[in-house]
Amino acid sequence: MTRIYLILIGVLLLILELTIPQMVAKYQFILFLVGILVLGIPHGAADLLISLKITNDKKARFSYLKFFLNYLGRLLFFLAIILVSPAIGIILFIILASFHFGETDLYQFQTDTITGKLFSVSYGLIILSVILFFHFSEVKPLLMAFDAGKKFGYLINWIDAYKITLLFLALIQFYIFTFIYFISNKNNPKLDGTFLVNFLLIILILFCLPMLLGFTFYFVFWHSIISLQNITKYLLHDLQFSLKKLITQISFYSLMAVIGVIIFGIFGIMFLNSNTIIIYALMGLAVLTAPHMQIMHNMYHNIRLLEVGENYK
């Protein structure tokens, strides 16, 4: 039922965009920022709790120092890649984010296999392609607002010239890898086509919404809420965590993350205009993707193991 409600939210945003575009244009930036703070950051703030449970399930000792060093190390390493070579950083982000988005939406499928991973990446890639390539006229000014964007202006202009071709190629690879996955998993009772209906509705909504509002719908509402639902279900399983402790911990780490973003923003003087905030927010999400994706992948792997053992309800 959650996905039906989320689709309805997308339809509501679409109706508002079509009927009162001026109002939507005025408030979509506010919706984006509030959504990131209320849903986007909290769904990543549970990473420590997830890692703690995964370690406890292995009957191993959890080291907070090791966790933070590993987490910050991945974060800073990915940030360094983006700063040194933005083009390589963006490509890596697209690959990692595609897999993460795909695995989250398709977690009920067997995505630990090679065909499953390709299925996940291709699914997430078409989502990102629709958001970025179909609305590249909105993305381009954000990229060109920075020195790195001007330096790689030739690449940005090339993408602009071939954006429809790139979108078409993304669509082709999705159907190829989806077909291969279905053929390889004929006996999976979950392959009833429901996810394809949801997928087509998501794509339709993303096509019609402007870039920022489309990203807000998919990342803030769809991805974050589904992730939080799965995280809560996983952490509350076998009663290692109470709901109260879960809410308290996620709220605390979310607050720490928000304070960090504000401090970074003040020293980086990034809060100059809405375009600057958007690109820094997206860059922040890109940097966080590397450590967050690995933790969520481990969680979904454990969820599938629990389901196989029929202990996960």
Instruction: Give the tens place of pLDDT for each residue, 12-25.
Output: 998 988 888 776 77
Q: Which residue has the higher pLDDT, 218 or 90?
A: 218
Q: What is the pLDDT of residue 38?
A: 86
User: Rounded CA gap, 142 and 82, in Å?
Assistant: 16
Domain that residue 70 falls in: 2-308
Report if residue 258 sits inside a domain.
yes
Does residue 302 sit within a domain?
Answer: yes
- Tokens representing 25 are 């244009």
In a domain, 129, yes or no: yes
Residue 69 lies in a domain: yes
How many residues in the chain? 313
> Is residue 140 assigned to a domain?
yes
Place 102 in a pLDDT band, splitting at 50, 70 and 90: very high
End-to-end CA distance of the chain: 16
In a domain, 147, yes or no: yes
Tell which residue, 179, 138, 295, has the closest CA to residue 231: 295
Say if 313 falls within a structural domain: no
- Over range 98-107, report the average pLDDT: 91
The model's pLDDT over 231-242, given as tens digits with 9 standing for 90+, comes to: 988 888 876 677
Domain total in the chain: 1
Whether 289 has a pLDDT exceeding 60, the answer reads yes
Here the tokens at position 230 are 């799965």
